[in-house]
Structure 1
Amino acid sequence: MSIEKIADSLLSQALYYQATDIHVLPRSKDYLVQFRIHGILTSYKKIPIQMGERFISHLKFLASMDIGEKRKPQSGSLQAYFSGILTSLRISTLPTAKAKESIVIRILHHKKTLSHQKLSLFPKSIQILQNFMTQAHGLILFTGPTGSGKSTSMFSLADYCSKQLNRRVISLEDPVEQQNDHFVQVQVNEKAGMSFHNGLKAVLRHDPDVILIGEIRDAETAFIAIRAAMTGHLVLSTMHTRDAKGALYRLIEFGVKHHDLEQTLLAVTSQRLVKLRCPFCGFACSKYCIRSQVSKRTGVYELLHSRSLQAAMKELKGGELFSPPLSLPKLIAKGVALGYISDEEYEKWIIDEKNIDKRSRTIFY
């Protein structure tokens, strides 16, 4: 069987099982393929070393990555049809001590693009964010750990801006994760001279109403986001932080000034994905359930805006410690009380948070 058919078969199986990620892990005698399904990493199959190397090279070629370079991490993306379904893939490689590459494939299913109204367990959070989409300028940050749904939230709201509000949306991404026909997407390419800095200058000349910056990873990108918000544009971006308040401290560490934050920042969200109770099976949902194709997870949003954001800003300047009235633990506990989330899920979440605290006492990832 050709490597093209093997790759198509593997990706089609991942789509069938509703996997969000595929991990191909190099081992001494083979490669282990794992699927992340509903947040849980599951071993799928083993493949021979030669087949694994050909599979990785094939995906790198499709994603326009350097096939010959195996000593440096690379990232890329592609869009293709698998089992007749248009799918976007975000691909990342990492060299390992075994002189082989590990690869992770993030699957972005076009058919499953969620309406912004279905993102949150508590609709009020999304209603507040939806109202901010009409603002003429300012910065809105979506934070949380990897796999918490930050990009999904941001792109769903950007889609709402473009379709419902008729606002011109332009994104700066590295790489472009999921292609969208409703707004302009710009691929950052440092080798070709298209950096975030140069890209932003070009974007500003194209009369955008809303600018998406894929992720704030360093001081340069932070300053770009602040500058764009100051020039009269609504800017949406993501960050990896522990909670909503942690994003403020992270921006200060990047060198952003307090008064610039006060002038530009409109709202900060921190989110997690939680498993929902099935109305037919309860919390132990059977794979044969008639709702098996319906998403079993949804978002819980801790949101800082208006007065709560001002209180967090005061703490940033050395004022009294501020605790959000609707923090993530309180929101998840509310979901448990209402019967949407299981006690086991809540306890698991608490344990995970405590383990993070043990690994690092900082407030961000």
Structure 2
Amino acid sequence: MEVEEFTVQMIQDAQQKGSSDIHLSPEGCQYSLYYRMDDTLLLKNRLMQEEGERLVSYLKFLSNMDVGERRKPQSGAAQIQTEAGNCMLRFSTITNFRAQESIVIRILSRTRSYQLDETTYFQKEVQKIKQLSQYKSGLLIFSGPVGSGKTTSMYQLIRENDTEIKQQVITIEDPVEIEEPLFLQAQVNEKAGISYAALLRQSLRHHPDILIIGEIRDEETAKMAIRGALTGHLILASIHAKNTVGVLARFMELGVTKEQLQQTLLGVVYQKLLPRFCPLCQEECHQWCSHFKANERRAVLYEVLSGLSLKEMLESGQKTSSDIRSFNHLLGKAAAYGFISEQSYQKYQIP
């Protein structure tokens, strides 16, 4: 099979199975092809070393990487036409000490959107998040592992924002993961000098009502987000942290003061996508389970830190309010109700 045809079939197969990433890794004298499914790598195929190297070179060419450069890590993006339509892909390469390249392909899903109420285990947290999004200005932060649906949550939250007045929404992402014609979507391009901070600075001059920032990565972006919230904009952004409390520590590490957070922060949302437990299969619901629809096989578990709990956390550094519904508490509740398996309960607890 030609490498171009193999690539299309590989992407289509991964899409159909609900995989978030494809890993092509050198292992000895061969390459192994894995699909990432619900935080687990499943072996799909093994290729001869020459076939694996040819596939890596083609994928680098497809994503506008330097095919001749094999020492430095590289990243890129591309679109590919599949039976399901146009598919956006992100690529990342790393070379091992034997000068063998590995590549990871991130599949950016363009499936239709679902209401937040339809994709969660508990409604109370969704209602809290919707209430926080009604504020005219402030900072609403989302955190969670890669592939936990943070971008989807932010987009859908604004789509469901019940307002009769037309609002200008600007998104800043690297790259744009979800196409939304009602939003003004800007994309980071580091090679052209278009960084998150540069786009954010220009977007604030564009007088938006709502800003969605794909990821706060550095000190400049963090401070620009705070400035935007202080000047009357509603800003939704994601940041990497282990839990809601870790988000506050991460902001302070990026040079944001506790006083600035007290003035701007509306709430912190931590989320994870967890596989449902299928009572008929008596196991976690995977892509082959026919007892759930595709959009029902996983759902989001949220923890929301806001209001009095957030205020106490910022003032004392500890959760002292009794009304906090922690992630681990809700995880145990989901297991007790039979929504998730005992295996998932043990696996996804936050230490």
Judged with a 3 Å threshold, the aligned counterparts in structure 2 of structure 1 residues 289 and 307 are, in CA distance, closer, same or farther, namely same
Q: Post-superposition shift, 1:251?
A: 0.7
Of 338-347 and 230-239, more deviation after overlay is shown by 338-347
CA offset digits 1:11-36 (Å, max 9, x no partner): 11111211111111122312111001
Alpha-carbon distance in 2 for matches of 1:74, 1:234 = 34
Q: Post-superposition shift, 1:256?
A: 0.6
Judged with a 3 Å threshold, the aligned counterparts in structure 2 of structure 1 residues 111 and 175 are, in CA distance, closer, same or farther, namely closer
Q: Post-superposition shift, 1:228?
A: 1.8
**One-letter identity of the residue aligned with 2:300:** G
1:144 aligns with 144
Q: Post-superposition shift, 1:248?
A: 0.6
Judged with a 3 Å threshold, the aligned counterparts in structure 2 of structure 1 residues 20 and 251 are, in CA distance, closer, same or farther, namely same
RMSD: 2.5
Runs (5+) with no aligned partner, structure 2 = none
Contact map agreement 1:86 1:111 (CA 8 A) in 2:
no
Residue 304 of structure 2 corresponds to residue 303 of structure 1: yes
2:46 aligns with 46
1:270 aligns with 270
Judged with a 3 Å threshold, the aligned counterparts in structure 2 of structure 1 residues 16 and 303 are, in CA distance, closer, same or farther, namely same
Normalized against structure 1, the TM-score is what? 0.87
Alpha-carbon distance in 1 for matches of 2:161, 2:92 = 30
Contact map agreement 1:88 1:179 (CA 8 A) in 2:
no
1:339 aligns with 338
1:111 partner SS: coil
2:93 aligns with 93
1:195 aligns with 195
Alpha-carbon distance in 2 for matches of 1:27, 1:333 = 39
Judged with a 3 Å threshold, the aligned counterparts in structure 2 of structure 1 residues 253 and 294 are, in CA distance, closer, same or farther, namely closer
Alpha-carbon distance in 2 for matches of 1:333, 1:141 = 24
2:136 partner SS: coil
1:240 partner SS: coil
Aligned pair count reads: 350
Q: Post-superposition shift, 1:330?
A: 0.4
Judged with a 3 Å threshold, the aligned counterparts in structure 2 of structure 1 residues 301 and 347 are, in CA distance, closer, same or farther, namely same
Judged with a 3 Å threshold, the aligned counterparts in structure 2 of structure 1 residues 330 and 273 are, in CA distance, closer, same or farther, namely same
Alpha-carbon distance in 1 for matches of 2:135, 2:298 = 30
Mapping for residues 176-215 of structure 1, pairs under 5 Å: 176-215=176-215
Alpha-carbon distance in 1 for matches of 2:162, 2:97 = 46
**One-letter identity of the residue aligned with 2:309:** S
Contact map agreement 2:128 2:304 (CA 8 A) in 1:
no
Of 102-111 and 234-243, more deviation after overlay is shown by 102-111
Mapping for residues 111-260 of structure 1, pairs under 5 Å: 111-161=111-161, 166-260=166-260
Alpha-carbon distance in 2 for matches of 1:267, 1:340 = 26
**One-letter identity of the residue aligned with 1:67:** V
Percent identity of the aligned residues? 38
Normalized against structure 2, the TM-score is what? 0.90
Alpha-carbon distance in 2 for matches of 1:179, 1:59 = 23
Contact map agreement 1:159 1:182 (CA 8 A) in 2:
no
2:20 partner SS: strand
Judged with a 3 Å threshold, the aligned counterparts in structure 2 of structure 1 residues 292 and 282 are, in CA distance, closer, same or farther, namely farther
Alpha-carbon distance in 2 for matches of 1:115, 1:213 = 21
Of 234-243 and 84-93, more deviation after overlay is shown by 84-93
Alpha-carbon distance in 2 for matches of 1:334, 1:288 = 24
**One-letter identity of the residue aligned with 1:180:** E
Residue 304 of structure 2 corresponds to residue 313 of structure 1: no
Of 47-56 and 224-233, more deviation after overlay is shown by 47-56
Judged with a 3 Å threshold, the aligned counterparts in structure 2 of structure 1 residues 207 and 40 are, in CA distance, closer, same or farther, namely same
Of 244-253 and 78-87, more deviation after overlay is shown by 78-87
**One-letter identity of the residue aligned with 2:346:** E
Judged with a 3 Å threshold, the aligned counterparts in structure 2 of structure 1 residues 54 and 157 are, in CA distance, closer, same or farther, namely farther
Contact map agreement 2:215 2:237 (CA 8 A) in 1:
yes
